[in-house]
């Protein structure tokens, strides 16, 4: 007969069984949980061969990846989470089969250097903690090309993506938040931002800013609504979520699932950190204590060199620094010597301007500041940044480097030392690489030809102003030919090179073609340059410029001023003819009134007009020896001497010799003299030698 078991033993056994059952039940209810840092955590690190995720000591930050390229890092809560409800608990709502859940975490993405990093991290719910064959880069260490978009994955993820262009099917812009079901193609995604105070106003959040960012993922199992919210760590949880989507997770989530994080890098890389994490079922996740979260340490680059190699490199670095410093000192010294070793003409007046000052003065050589263009470059209006003084800056075109340098040197050499009230004043110059710049006084009223042929607002130069201008140019040419240390032959006297200042004085400019020679010698210049209509016959035949060839051009200028016509005139029968021919023909067939600029009306002094026309014809005599000098011309204009043999204009035509011997010449672009009737010249704007 069996011995009866004492009652107290039965009681003890029952109590032990109940206790054991209670312990098992407690271990099966692992949530809610909270980690304010991960020093004492029991996280499970899934360790692919490409990287170990780890907790940094002593900070307690969970680092999923460092800044190595093409690596993966994962960390999971070690216990499975029961997401399916039992029948009794869901009887009140038969559609509710999945528990509500909520998670709150703080992450930090620190890109490599100053460039954009990659690729991002994801909060995941998955059947297992391992993802066999998962790829780095855009797959974030979760899926691969083979299993992507398969329902058997049973994967739920919220991605925080920082790299553009996975491909058109899977991804859009970087810096976005997406909800993924079994695939890396987000069912819904939004650019990373948060709503301010529940309004429609939103602020962007840069995921890879290197600053901590809060994230909340909340799922309402009863209503099957998923909300995803983010904000900077300094802001509380926004009232309005970033993403709110109706979604049924019952086909996705199995009865027991694992929650965790996965991150990956690719050709672009970032360090991905989780600073704190909490999770709860059927209720809000426990709030994190933000003040207790770890601070990500500043990562120091480890040296790959041994101490002895470091020492050698350090010594070499010192030597290199010394050599570079010495080289810079020598270069600066030589530059200073070169700068201070100025020629005499540089010491007189012109000085070097800084390129940046001229660039600022002309507003970057802006098109609106352009005053005009010439054979070699453009002229811009400007104002010096310090004084505000108005200037004109001639920028010589770099694509004419040979001619440009020649012009640059000529103008510097001439204008650098010339000073006369009827010459354009050169203030200074600048050379920068291929940019050649000359700085002049700004002449407000523009060129004489524009005032004669294109007057603005009905303004017409009256005769008194015209007579004053031509006298001033004559005085300037006297200075060039006789009064300066050397003879200066301008070689391009014409109305477009005469500028009119604020007091209506004529000032001769553009010395780019000028040539110098000593007094008492003969010019050796042999190339033909100038403008058709102003070129003296002997210059066309021999190529030798002289003061007399300047006188010829000045004579044409006198006729221009009196007649209001350019150096080439349209003839009703002969086409385009030289102005001198036209004036002679008109004077022979009519009278002075037929050649005078009609814009003047009767408002001119007849004697002065006769003088200017007669002097213009005398200066344009085809024989150089028959022309007066500029000093004689100035005396005629000032009334100090009478024009020889001219009591009336009719006797000033100097016989028909002028028309007959004006030459039958045409100067080609190469300076070759050919036989052609002047009456057949087809262009008045051709400039020989340019």
Q: Alpha-carbon distance 84 to 250, whole Å?
A: 8
Paired tokens of 65 = 């990846």
Paired tokens of 676 = 């052609």
Cα dihedral 4, 7, 9, 11 in deg (nearest 10): 140
Task: Identify the active-site residue in 161, 171, 492, 550.
Answer: 492
Is 492 an annotated catalytic residue? yes
**Nearest alpha carbon to residue 451 among 386, 512, 505:** 505
| Rg of the chain over all Cα atoms, to the nearest angstrom | 47
CA angle 22, 28, 32 (to 5 degrees): 110
**What is the CB neighbour count within 10 angstroms for residue 369?**
18
Spell out the SS3 assignment of 400-437: HHHHHHHHHHHHHHHHCCCCCCCECCEEEEEEECCEEE
Paired tokens of 165 = 């262009």
The answer to whether 506 touches 498, Cβ cutoff 8 Å, is yes
Phi, psi (rounded to 5 degrees) for 568: -120, 130
Q: Alpha-carbon distance 131 to 146, whole Å?
A: 12
Q: Alpha-carbon distance 254 to 257, whole Å?
A: 6
Query: Could you tell me where the beta strands, DSSP code E, fall in 401-539?
Result: 426-432, 435-441, 487-489, 498-500, 506-508, 515-517
Please name the residue that has the structure tokens 């996705």.
252
Q: Alpha-carbon distance 670 to 527, whole Å?
A: 9
**What positions carry a catalytic annotation?**
492
């Amino acid at each position: 007969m069996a011995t009866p078991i004492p009652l107290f033993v039965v009681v003890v056994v029952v109590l032990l069984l109940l206790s054991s059952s209670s312990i098992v039940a407690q271990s099966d209810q692992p949530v809610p949980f909270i980690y304010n840092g991960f020093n004492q955590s029991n996280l499970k690190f899934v360790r692919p061969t490409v990287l170990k995720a780890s907790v940094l000591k002593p900070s307690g930050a969970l680092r999923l990846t460092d800044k190595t390229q093409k690596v993966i890092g994962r960390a999971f809560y070690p216990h499975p989470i029961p997401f399916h409800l039992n029948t009794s608990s869901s009887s009140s709502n038969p559609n509710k089969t999945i528990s509500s859940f909520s998670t709150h975490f703080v992450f930090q993405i620190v890109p490599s250097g100053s460039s954009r990093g990659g690729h991002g991290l994801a909060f995941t719910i998955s059947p297992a903690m391992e993802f066999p064959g998962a790829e780095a880069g855009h797959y974030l260490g979760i899926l691969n090309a083979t299993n992507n978009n398969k329902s058997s994955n049973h994967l739920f993820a919220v991605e925080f993506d920082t790299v553009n262009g996975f491909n058109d099917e899977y991804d859009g812009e970087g810096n976005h938040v997406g909800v993924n079901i079994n695939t890396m193609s987000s069912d819904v995604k939004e650019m990373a931002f948060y709503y301010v105070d529940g309004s429609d106003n939103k602020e962007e959040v840069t995921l890879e800013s290197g600053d901590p960012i809060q994230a909340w993922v909340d799922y309402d199992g009863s209503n099957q609504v998923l909300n995803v919210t983010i904000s900077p760590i300094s802001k509380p949880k926004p009232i309005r979520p970033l993403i709110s989507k109706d979604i049924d997770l019952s086909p996705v989530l199995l009865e027991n699932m694992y929650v965790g994080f996965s991150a990956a890098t690719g050709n672009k890389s970032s360090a991905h950190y989780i600073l704190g994490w909490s999770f709860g079922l059927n209720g809000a996740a426990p709030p994190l204590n933000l003040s207790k979260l770890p601070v990500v340490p500043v990562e120091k680059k480890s040296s790959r060199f041994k101490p002895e190699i470091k020492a050698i490199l350090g010594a070499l670095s010192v030597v290199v620094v010394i050599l570079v410093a010495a080289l810079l000192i020598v270069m600066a010294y030589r530059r200073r010597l070169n700068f201070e070793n100025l020629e005499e003409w540089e010491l007189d007046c012109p000085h070097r301007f800084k390129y940046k000052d001229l660039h600022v003065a002309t507003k970057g050589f802006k098109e609106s500041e352009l005053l005009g263009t010439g054979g070699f470059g453009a002229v811009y209006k400007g104002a010096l940044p310090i004084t505000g003084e108005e200037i004109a800056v001639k920028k010589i075109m770099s694509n004419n480097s040979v001619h440009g340098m020649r012009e640059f040197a000529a103008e510097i050499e001439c204008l650098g030392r010339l000073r006369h009230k009827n010459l354009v004043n050169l203030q200074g110059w600048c050379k920068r690489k291929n940019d050649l710049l000359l700085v002049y006084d700004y002449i407000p009223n523009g060129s004489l030809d524009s005032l004669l042929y294109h007057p603005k607002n009905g303004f017409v130069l009256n005769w008194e102003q015209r007579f004053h201008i031509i006298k001033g140019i004559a005085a300037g040419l006297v200075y060039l030919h006789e009064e300066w240390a050397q003879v200066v032959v301008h070689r391009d006297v014409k109305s477009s090179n005469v500028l009119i200042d604020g007091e209506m004085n004529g000032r001769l400019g553009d010395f780019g073609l000028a040539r110098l020679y000593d007094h008492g010698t003969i010019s050796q210049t042999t190339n033909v340059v100038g403008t058709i209509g102003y070129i003296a016959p002997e210059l066309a035949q021999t190529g030798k410029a002289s003061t007399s060839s300047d006188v010829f051009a000045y004579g044409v200028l006198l006729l221009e001023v009196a007649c209001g016509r350019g150096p080439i005139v349209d003839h009703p029968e002969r086409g385009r003819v030289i102005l001198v021919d036209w004036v002679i023909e008109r004077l022979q067939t009519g009278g002075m009134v037929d050649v005078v600029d009609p814009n003047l009306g009767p408002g001119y002094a007849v004697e002065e007009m006769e003088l200017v026309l007669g002097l213009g014809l005398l200066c344009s005599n085809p024989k150089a020896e028959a022309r007066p000098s500029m000093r004689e011309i100035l005396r005629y204009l000032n009334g100090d001497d009478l024009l020889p043999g001219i009591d009336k204009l009719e006797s000033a035509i100097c016989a028909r010799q002028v028309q007959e011997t004006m030459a039958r010449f045409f100067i080609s672009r190469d300076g070759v003299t050919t036989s052609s009737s002047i009456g057949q010249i087809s262009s008045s704007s051709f400039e020989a030698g340019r």
